[in-house]
């Protein structure tokens, strides 16, 4: 097995594990953080497979924009937090472990010895050409996805307002 094959399996396992941890968290903020770990791992997989543009888009769009949107929604819903101000060690260990694995895998990817690369047939497309292709051939799906995100955002706003209205009625 080559170094890149080994890195692929390690990153795939960590992405799967961090996604599983995100699904099992009761605290929504922790779940979002583990999803961000999952997206960074997916970006590293894209980079490993020779798609640096997709890796950059994964980090910018998903780990950046979508997760910030999720965090805002989570904060607007105002989920009751536990009385702890500092997270227990059992919650720090998985995050630190995933961070160390990603740091090690990323370092190996960037600092690999010359000559260990696997020659891949590189398909090159300028970002402009890629954008034109997607928007010309798949515009309907992009519009459907944007509509779904808008509906989800409006639903989150309504959930936040209903809880806010109930607390005012209870106080009065």
3-state SS assignment for residue 129: helix
What are the pLDDT digits (tens) for 62-121? 877 877 777 777 777 766 655 555 567 777 788 788 888 888 877 777 776 656 566 656
Alpha-carbon dihedral 162, 168, 171, 172, rounded to 10 degrees:
-120
How far is 25 from 42, CA to CA, in rounded Å? 20
Q: What one-character-per-residue DSSP string does 141-157 give?
A: HHHHHHHHHHHHHHHHH
How far is 108 from 119, CA to CA, in rounded Å? 17
How far is 79 from 144, CA to CA, in rounded Å? 29
Query: pTM of the entire structure?
Result: 0.53
């Amino acid at each position: 097995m080559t170094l890149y094959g080994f890195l692929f399996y390690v990153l795939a396992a960590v992405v799967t594990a961090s996604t599983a941890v995100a699904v099992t968290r009761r605290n929504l903020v922790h779940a979002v953080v583990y999803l961000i770990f999952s997206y960074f791992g997916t970006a590293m997989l894209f980079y490993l497979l020779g798609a640096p543009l997709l890796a950059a888009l994964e980090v910018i769009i998903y780990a950046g924009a979508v997760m910030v949107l999720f965090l805002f929604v989570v904060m607007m819903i105002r989920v009751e937090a536990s009385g702890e101000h500092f997270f227990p060690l059992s919650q720090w260990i998985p995050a630190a472990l995933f961070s160390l694995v990603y740091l090690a895998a990323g370092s190996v990817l960037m600092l690999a010895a010359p000559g260990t690369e696997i020659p891949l047939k590189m398909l090159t497309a300028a970002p402009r050409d890629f954008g034109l292709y997607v928007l010309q051939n798949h515009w309907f799906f992009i519009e459907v996805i944007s509509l779904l995100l808008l509906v989800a955002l409006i639903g989150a706003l309504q959930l936040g307002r209903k809880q806010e209205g109930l607390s005012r009625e209870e106080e009065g």
